[in-house]
Amino acid sequence: MTNPDERNDPWKEATKCYEDFADEVVVAGETWPEEFKFDYIGKVFQDGFNQSTGDWVIHMDIDNLFHEKDKERLRNILKNYEDYPAVAFPKFQFFHPERFNFKSKMCIAVNKKKFPDIKFNGGGDLCQPTIENKLISPDIVPYEKIIIWNYDSMFKTKRIISKDRARFARAWFSSFGDYGDRGGPTEEEAFKAWFQMIEERYAYHYLKMNIDKHPKYIVSRLSNIPENQFGHNLFGLIDKNKNINLNKLKQTYKNYIKNYLLAK
Interatomic CA distance for residues 255 and 250, integer angstroms: 9
Among 102, 92, 107, 105, CA closest to 59: 107
pLDDT tens digit sequence for 74-126:
999 999 999 999 999 999 999 999 999 999 999 999 999 999 999 999 999 99
Q: How far apart are the two ends of the chain, measured CA to CA in Å? A: 34
Instruction: Measure the CA–CA gap between 58 and 117, rounded to whole angstroms.
Output: 15
Give the residue with greater pLDDT, 67 vs 253: 67
Cβ distance 77 to 144 under 8 Å?
A: yes
Question: Does position 62 have pLDDT exceeding 80, yes or no?
Answer: yes
82 conformational bin, left if phi > 0, alpha if psi -120 to 50, beta if neither: alpha
Residue 132 pLDDT class (50, 70, 90 cuts): very high
Q: Residue 161 in contact with residue 193, Cβ under 8 Å?
A: no
Where along the chain do its domains lie? 11-150
H or E, element range at 42: helix 39-51
Bridge partners for 56 per DSSP:
111
pLDDT band, very low/low/confident/very high, at 244 (cuts 50, 70, 90): confident
Q: What is the pLDDT of residues 179-227, one digit of tens each?
A: 999 999 999 999 999 999 999 999 999 999 999 999 999 999 999 999 9
